[in-house]
Copies of this chain bind each other. A is one copy, B any other.
Amino acid sequence: MMKQYEYPDKKEWAEIVERPIADYSSLEKKVKKMMLNVKKKGDKAVFRYCKEFDGVKLKSLAVNQKEIDKAILSVPLELKTAIIQAKKNIELFHNSQKTEVKKIETMPGVTCWRQSKGIEKVGLYIPGGTAPLFSTVLMLAIPAQIAECKEIILCTPPDKKGKINPAILFAAQLCGITKVYKVGGVQAIASMTFGTESIPKVFKIFGPGNQYVTMGKQMAQQYGVAIDMPAGPSEVLVIADETADPEFVASDLLSQAEHGPDSQVILITTDEKLSKQVNKAITSQLQLLPRKVVAERSLKNSKLVIINNIEEAIELSDLYAPEHLIIICKNANEVAQQVSTAGSVFIGNYSPESAGDYGSGTNHTLPTNGYAAMYSGVSLDSFVKKITYQELTKEGLENIGQTVMTMAAAEGLDAHKNAISIRLKK
């Protein structure tokens, strides 16, 4: 089912790492019109789009406490327990990303340091659609809370009855988010970009979405709002040798493939026998999947590469820059250290991508589509600004003064020089 490459020449690598191209430029006009309409008409436009796209006539965009309380009652205890456990792990790991303030005296009397401050207003977007992504609520709301962002709002589309999935409301409440709005799609992104009567404007927008949402987030940047990262279809690359369990590998490939028909999965293996076993296991596991049709379509974009050795496998993987990278081979941990480009790395037979997707602790909002070459996944960093500070004593200024004056003069910036010389003269 997957396209197979056997010991490909390096010339062929460019083809292997090629991603299915998605061109959304045809949406541009439509999305822009919606953005500007929300900017101009505020809530009125949002209510209209809600009716048009979600098929529901809402009275209010904000979810009220009564709705939240009711929803929480309806979440099964087992799911609540699971979400609470996942939160604990994610919190632990993201808390460890806090950095202490290190004051550095670069010269006697010249002290520099950095301090993180939460981005004051952030907006989290949680898509509706085929899967209610309450796990994404955890992945975004937990670091936002740790960062001490003052205003955290959440937008997610309502169903046809005007309701939000209870597990999403439970997760939001658990993470201390009090402002949840029933709005999805471009209208949600536009609301958070410009602000409406009901929905506050934010400084940075986070979260996944379909091609309309993605285009909306891109446009939001033109209006001075930051976004978490550019988006693209989800993907996994598995590097495996003969020590890998083919059943496990097949299950990992399929768990990526079921995400969407445009998901991409790649297996690079040094073991021909394994490749055959994996193919077989895929076929049999696929039969039982409710999302079989989706997974089948995605497997058609996917590739199986038989390669000479693990070193080459890593080189090819780095070139692809996978969102998720699973490494199941001898000395997997050492091999993982050699990786230079990936969003998140899963090491060994017992570290499936699902673990990271839901609750081992790492974030599941990761760079796709080759962006792992220059972007990091969402982390505590994504929710803060790191402000630099400096304090010079009189002695410090005397020590650094000549350096600064010489450089400023050479750059032709005399007022910069004066700011030093006037001080030194006194």
Q: How far is the CA of A360 from the CA of B400 in the complex (A)?
A: 7
B403 near A290 with CB under 8 A, answer no
B134 near A358 with CB under 8 A, answer no
Q: Which residues of chain B come closer than 8 Å to A367, judged between CB atoms?
A: 385
Closest to A97 in B: B114
Q: How far is the CA of A339 from the CA of B385 in the complex (A)?
A: 12
Closest to A222 in B: B218
Q: How far is the CA of A400 from the CA of B353 in the complex (A)?
A: 13
Decide if A248 is an interface residue (CB 8 Å cutoff).
yes
Interface range on chain A (Cβ under 8 Å from partner): 35 or more
Q: Which one, B114, B252, B359, B418, contacts A285 given CB within 8 A?
A: B418
A79 near B415 with CB under 8 A, answer no
Q: Which one, B92, B224, B407, B418, contacts A370 given CB within 8 A?
A: B224
**A112-B361, A411-B131, A418-B251 given; A96·B104 CB < 8 A:** yes
Q: How far is the CA of A89 from the CA of B385 in the complex (A)?
A: 22
Which of A5-13, A270-278, A341-349 forms contacts with chain B? Answer: A341-349
B120 near A387 with CB under 8 A, answer no
**A104-B92, A342-B387 given; A422·B247 CB < 8 A:** yes
**A86-B403, A362-B112, A404-B355 given; A394·B350 CB < 8 A:** yes
Q: How far is the CA of A405 from the CA of B344 in the complex (A)?
A: 20
Smallest CB–CB gap between A96 and chain B, Å? 5
Q: Which residues of chain B come closer than 8 Å to A288, judged between CB atoms?
A: 414, 418
Decide if A195 is an interface residue (CB 8 Å cutoff).
no
Q: Which one, B85, B258, B369, B389, contacts A336 given CB within 8 A?
A: B389
Copies of this chain in its oligomeric complex: 2
Q: How far is the CA of A415 from the CA of B372 in the complex (A)?
A: 24
Q: Which residues of chain B come closer than 8 Å to A115, judged between CB atoms?
A: 337
B289 near A415 with CB under 8 A, answer yes
Q: CB within 8 Å of B: which residues of A?
A: 78-79, 81-83, 85-86, 88-89, 92-93, 96-97, 99, 102, 104, 106-107, 110, 112, 114-115, 117-120, 130-135, 167, 203-204, 221, 224-226, 230, 245, 247-248, 251-252, 254-255, 257-259, 285, 288-291, 295, 332-333, 336-337, 339-363, 367, 369-377, 379, 381, 384-394, 396-397, 400, 402-404, 406-408, 410-420, 422-423, 426
